[in-house]
Amino acid sequence: MRCSWQTGLLAPQPCEMPAAGACGMCGRAVCMAHSVAGPNGTACPRCASANPGYEQNEETELESARSKYYTQYGGERYFTDRDRESVERERWEPYDEFET
Amino acid sequence: MKPTDLSPAARAAADRQAIRGSWDGPALERLLQELLAYDVVLDARVAFRLKVMIGTIVAAVVGFIAAVVMIAEEDGLLLLAVAALEALLVGATVWRWLQASKMALPERALLMLQQMFLQIRQDLDPAEQIRVNVDLTGPTKAKRGQKQKLPAGAFLAREQYVFTDPWCSVRFQLRDGCRLTLRQVDQVMEVRRTKRSLRGKTKVKVRYKKLCRLTATLLPPAPVRWKARPQVDAEWERLRVANKKGQEVAVLERWFLYKPHEGRPKENPTGADAVGLMYRLCAMREVAAR
Ligand SMILES: [Zn+2]
Ligand SMILES: [Zn+2]
């Protein structure tokens, strides 16, 4: 069995290290690095980020950020209409999009 | 932390107020970390020198009054010498304070880059370097545009300067071969409003506004079929698929507006704002189900 946890955020890839066990909640096979101990036993980073009592680490934080990133601005209004008028987008000087 | 604790790379970046060239992910993470720590030192130095300056000015005034009382009638020349010495001292402290202020680094801008690279470190192709062109000098005079007259309204006059600061451009390759570019251009609007006070004096009040445009560009290694559009805020974001040398790239932009109650704007988009743009862009590709 291999760890099936998807590492990364922008270019996700399965971890594929030898599995050390399975997540007690979703059954996913996870390696040592991707298992989190908590009140319901071993959990994968996703279940650990969704359930209270689990220690948070880099992986669980990335996991809880994922859905937030995708719907980051959905329905939220950061600005008022007056702000929008002051933006004056047309004023922007053109610049080369792909020049670095 | 002392300025001497900086690594040579961080020292060079802090002195030049710029990060340029090609970097390995871990080296860039370390550099940003160091610069953020150094910025705390710089801020403390500016605050200290401001205190010294104010203290010196107060001492100079008190000292001059004392000198007038003690030596006034006997020796005008001595009094002049005292005044000159004090002016020199005050001038020196003002100069030192200005020098320290000029070296300051934009904390929020550095924080955005640092948090962003921390969150995407697993995604980077370790064999490829990150190309960085970051200018940390902020909206200097050289970036200031022409003076614009605005409708005066209730004021005697209203003038505006616009600073254009294309300070950030970073490009890196993901481990699946996609290339991502993140760019930020700031526009700082300085509005000077002239008012007549009740006593008939004219007063100028300066207000600032900062508009940031954050642009993420995704260039896939081979032609792709784009999946459904990600969620885009119609008012503040723009998503387009453009053609670059025969290959399709996806570009997502977002505008951020900051209006501080007083002083110059210090805010900047966060690392999460930047990753959010890139995450949605990357979700447009057809990739294996997670
Ligand atoms: Zn699970
Ligand atoms: Zn794993």
B120-137 tens-digit pLDDT: 999 999 999 999 999 999
What would the mean pLDDT of A36-46 be, rounded to a whole number? 89
Q: What is the pLDDT of residue A71?
A: 59
Provide the chain A residues 38-97 that lie in CB contact (below 8 A) with chain B. Answer: 62, 65-66, 68-74, 76-79, 83-84, 86-87, 89, 91-93, 95, 97
- SS3 label, residue B30: helix
* Residue pLDDT, tens place only, A15-40: 989 999 999 999 999 999 999 988 88
Confidence of residue A77 (pLDDT cuts 50, 70, 90): very low
Checking if the pLDDT of B165 tops 90, the result is yes
pLDDT score of B183 more than 80: yes
Given a contact cutoff of 8 angstroms between Cβ atoms, the answer to whether A1 and A19 are in contact is yes
Interval between CA B178 and ligand 2 midpoint (Å): 23
Lowest-pLDDT choice from A13-17, A65-69, B114-118: A65-69
Query: Is the pLDDT at A82 greater than 90, yes or no?
Result: no
Cβ within 8 Å, pair B166-A87: no
Instruction: State whether residue B120 sits within 8 Å of chain A by CB.
Output: yes
A3 C-alpha to ligand 2 centroid (Å): 5
Ligand closest to Cα of A8 equals 2
CA distance A62 to chain B (A): 7
Range name among A41-50, A84-93, B232-241 with the lowest pLDDT average: A84-93
Residues 6+ apart with CB under 8 A from B46: B97, B100, B101, B104
In angstroms, the CA B114 to CA B109 distance is 9
What pLDDT does B284 receive? Answer: 82
Q: Which long-range contacts (CB under 8 A, 24 or more apart) does B127-130 make?
A: B128/B172, B128/B173, B129/B22, B129/B23, B129/B24, B129/B172, B130/B22, B130/B23, B130/B24, B130/B25, B130/B28, B130/B170, B130/B171, B130/B172
**Does residue B229 or residue A46 have the better pLDDT?**
A46
pLDDT: which is higher, A91 or B20: B20
DSSP per residue, B131-168 = EEEEE-S-S-GGGB---EEE--TTSSEEEEEEEEEEEE
Within 8 A of B244 by CB-CB distance, chain A residues are: 97-98
Query: ipTM score here?
Result: 0.79
pLDDT at A90 over 50: no
Residue B107's pLDDT is: 93
Residue A86 tokens read as 């002051």
For B194-250, write each residue's pLDDT tens digit.
888 888 888 888 989 899 999 999 999 888 877 777 777 777 888 888 877 778 888
Please indicate whether residue B288 or residue B224 has the higher confidence score (pLDDT). Answer: B224
Give the bridge partners for B170, in sequence order: B132, B182
Query: CA-to-CA distance for B197 and B207, rounded, in angstroms?
Result: 18
- Asked if A86 lies within 8 A of B213 by C-beta distance, the reply is no
Q: Which value, to the nearest 10 degrees, does the dihedral of the CA atoms of residues A53, A55, A61, A63 take?
A: -70
